[in-house]
Amino acid sequence: MKELARLADVLNKANQDYHRLDAPKLSDSEYDALKRRNREIEIRFPELKRADSASDQVGAAPSEGFSKVKHAQPMLSLGNAFEDAEVHEFTERVAKFLGLSEADISFTAEPKIDGLSLSLRYEQGKLVQAATRGDGAVGENVTANARNIASVPQQLVGAPEVLEVRGEVYMSHADFAALNELQEANGDKPFANPRNAAAGSLRQLDASITAKRPLEFFAYAWGELSEPLAGTQDEAIKRLKSLGFVTNPLTRLCAGAEALIAQYRLIEAQRATLAYDIDGVVYKVNDLALQERLGFRATTPRWATAHKFPAELAWTWLEAIDIQVGRTGALSPVARLTPVTVGGVVVSNATLHNENYISGFDNKGAEIRGGKDIRVGDWVQVYRAGDVIPKIADVDVTKRPAEASKYEFPDVCPECGSAAVREVGDAVHRCTGGLICPAQAVEKLKHFVSRKAFDIDGLGAKQIEMFFTDEGLGIREPADIFTLKTRDSAQMTKLKNREGWGARSADKLFDAIDDKRRIGFARLLFALGIRHVGEQASKLIAGHFVTWTRFVAAMEQACDETSEAWAELLNIDGVGEVMARSLVLAFKQEHERESIERLVVELEVQDAEQASSDSPVAGKTLVFTGTLEKMTRAEAKARAESLGAKVAGSVSAKTDLLIAGPGAGSKAKKAADLGVETIDEDGWINLVSGL
Ligand code: IVH
């Protein structure tokens, strides 16, 4: 009761500071944590709930996440034009509204950046606030995050006393690709496109994450101003540039509709070579006095419009269907197309997914493309959704050559000639060749050296491709990596004499390989790339068997599904029949087993830590959220797992405990909603210390 009274007092004061005095003393996360604690106590002791409980106050408190910012001037969107005729209509409309002749009005034309808009408020030259657009009237306060964007100046010299600069936050193609690689390597979901990546990066509750994301900013407009920037749009943008903002170099002054359209074509032609995504060209009346007179409709200015690029679709011929073989033997059909420009990018391949997809059905047997199948020789419509692999949208069967026959999915692997089978319930054909299949072998090797597996410095996918086909120093299976140095010493043509290698880089590689001879059981198991056996499962299995030797012996016995070893394998929490069969198979197939044996003799496999069963978190599912101050997230996760807990990425009804550090957001809220027990970092340390 005392605690509830104290919380009521603190929360009340915090509300006052926030709303009336506009000077919050608590951070949002501190406030949220107090409120959460208040609610938790109330849930446990409902009879003690106070009449003035903060839990019942709606709207008074800042919502979780970012605080809200009311824009001094609304952030609006733009009207659209798609056809050239609509550009003429725009310029005519503007002229008519002003009662001027079209010849008297000039416009700027500039790329429409596909990112998210941001408003930056400077007072006395200092950046004081950054806000997202939100609903146009109220946005989110992302000041701390925006301070981490290199092209957002912190301090301006010679700027108006109050200056709100507006523009677009975006991520370049190169940075997007690198970020997604990192996401995937970390087991995180990749972003669908640079726009999502930019938005996801800017809207991080933890500004230190934003700091690690390479965001950029183009300034193209303004909000509140204490004095005008210039007399025209064009000059105002130049002024912003002189103040230190990055402005788009493709901005041009144009005399009328025809000139705007010409600039549109020019920008469209450059689209594919730009380092960032654009989705159209924005036209703005140049004279700011005219802009003022034109004003706004409900949500869009009369003085500007966006001429959008057409949807990214194109028709072309399907010349051939090739089959690519992946690490687990999956056969992926790829359409080879007569190269065609789709949304400014030349496309010559498209994914065809699997046999069903080619025949005109999805995986549930429902028709796609009206049930039309895809044949070699077909005239097909290709589309590009964001940056993903192009797909086939449609087939024009009226253009189908008479000799085109239904595509027959191969029943042998095109790489090794082994049977390719499609199991019941599986949409995918798989090569049964295992490691004798060169395509599977090379993909498996790439996985073997990847970051969460052996992670060997200087030995990535590119080097694997090179070594795989090397005559004298070939790497065709994992063991070959560890015999590379000895084989090199015995060779006439040494690695250091090969193109791209020198004595130093060769020695560095050998050292990096030696460094990884000592390897943990779980990492080794994951590195083998056995189908269905991912990183998490590898840890569980290693935690169960502890030693590699015991594990291998158990796999040999588990071939017999009536054996105790089989039952033991299935008994491991997180191991189902499908995974168990896949594991057993890997050790049953002679090729694969021998290859593993050749590898293991080169290594020193470290025992896994015994999964503890008597810790308070054994068998529990934990989620960490917010910032941990006393240990890294990786360390906390490893500790939890060594105590027999499972660590999940998101809160669900299956979560047993949430450990929430400062800055915890939606996960903490969800946990509270689901009644999941939540503790802070100190609580966590208390819980696990001494274990
Ligand atoms: S001007 C009042 N210029 O497009 C008009 N907007 O569809 C202010 N955008 O919300 C916007 N590039 O996020 C303008 N060069 C550009 C732009 C641009 C991208 C975005 C902006 C806006 C949206 C409207």
Structural domain includes residue 326: no
Task: For the beta carbon of residue 105, count every other beta carbon within 10 angstroms.
Answer: 18
- The residues annotated as belonging to the active site are 112
* Amino acid, res. 119: S
Same domain, 629 and 683: yes
Residues 552 and 653 in one domain: no
In a domain, 400, yes or no: no
Which of residues 308, 336, 370 is at a domain's end? 308
The residues pairing with 605 across neighbouring beta strands, listed in sequence order, are 519
CB 31 within 8 A of CB 19: no
Tell me the three-class secondary structure of 580-594, residue by residue: HHHHHHHHHCHHHHH
Task: Report pLDDT for 450.
Answer: 92
Same-domain pairing of 512 and 529: no
458 and 573 part of one domain = no
Distances (CA, A) of 294 to 93, 151, 557: 10, 32, 82
Among 308, 328, 350, the domain-final residue is: 308
Residue 38 burial (CB count, 10 A) = 22
Q: Are residues 512 and 536 in the same domain?
A: no
81 lies in a domain? yes
Task: Identify the domain containing residue 486 by its residue range.
Answer: 449-516
By CB neighbour count within 10 A (0-12 exposed, 13-18 middle, 19+ buried), where does 418 fall? middle
Q: What's at 537, amino acid-wise?
A: A
Among 275, 301, 273, CA closest to 288 = 301
* Predicted pLDDT at 220: 98
Q: Number of structural domains, the chain?
A: 4
Determine which residue's CA is closest to atom 23 belonging to ligand 1.
77
Do the domain assignments include residue 394? no
Same domain for 649 and 554: no
What is the CA(166)–ligand 1 centre distance, in A? 9
Residues forming beta bridges with residue 352, ordered by sequence position: none
Domain containing residue 209: CATH number: 3.30.470.30
C-alpha distances (whole Å) from 594 to each of 283, 435, 474, 598 are 67, 11, 18, 6
Q: Tell me if 419 is assigned to some domain.
A: no
Cα 229 to ligand 1 centre (Å)? 19
| Shared domain check, 667 and 530 | no
CATH of the domain at 684: 3.40.50.10190
**Do 557 and 481 belong together in one domain?**
no
Contacting residues for 120 by C-beta, under 8 A, at least 6 apart: 127, 129, 130, 146, 152, 164, 165, 166, 167
| 221 CA from centroid of ligand 1 (Å) | 8
Look at residue 529 in the predicted model and tell me its pLDDT: 93
Distance (Å, whole) CA 655 – CA 665: 16
Q: Are residues 147 and 293 in the same domain?
A: yes
The reply to whether 457 and 570 lie within a common domain is no
331-342 vs 379-383, strand pairing mode? unpaired
Within a domain: 275: yes
Q: Are 478 and 592 in contact, with CB atoms under 8 Å apart?
A: no
In the listed set 484, 516, 548, which residue is the last one of a domain according to the structure?
516
474 and 575 together in one domain: no
C-alpha atoms less than 13 angstroms from C-alpha of 171 in its C-beta half-sphere: 26
Instruction: Provide DSSP, 156-215.
Output: -SS--SEEEEEEEEE--HHHHHHHHHHHHHTTPPPPSSHHHHHHHHHT-SSHHHHHHS--
Ligand 1 atom nearest to 284, measured from its CA = 1
pTM for this prediction: 0.47
- Give 10-residue mean pLDDT values along the chain (691 residues): 71 52 45 60 66 50 65 90 94 91 96 96 96 89 94 95 97 94 89 88 89 94 96 97 97 97 96 93 97 84 92 89 93 94 78 95 90 96 72 93 95 95 90 88 94 91 92 93 94 87 93 95 95 90 93 94 91 87 92 93 90 75 88 76 81 90 88 91 84 65
> At 608, which amino acid appears?
A
Are residue 490 and residue 564 in the same domain, yes or no?
Answer: no
- List pocket residues of ligand 1, CB cut-off 6 Å: 76-78, 110, 112-113, 117, 133, 168, 220-221, 282, 301, 304, 306
In a domain, 467, yes or no: yes
CATH number at residue 529: 1.10.150.20
- pLDDT, residue 20, reads 35
Q: Rounded to the nearest 5°, which phi and psi values hold at 625?
A: -145, 160
Please indicate, yes or no, if residue 360 is contained in any of the structural domains: no
pLDDT at 673: 92
**Burial readout 638-672 (b: 16 or more C-beta within 10 A, e: otherwise):** ebbbbbbbbbeeebeeebebbbbbbbbbebbbbbb
Q: Report the pLDDT value the prediction gives residue 493, as an integer from 0 to 100.
A: 81
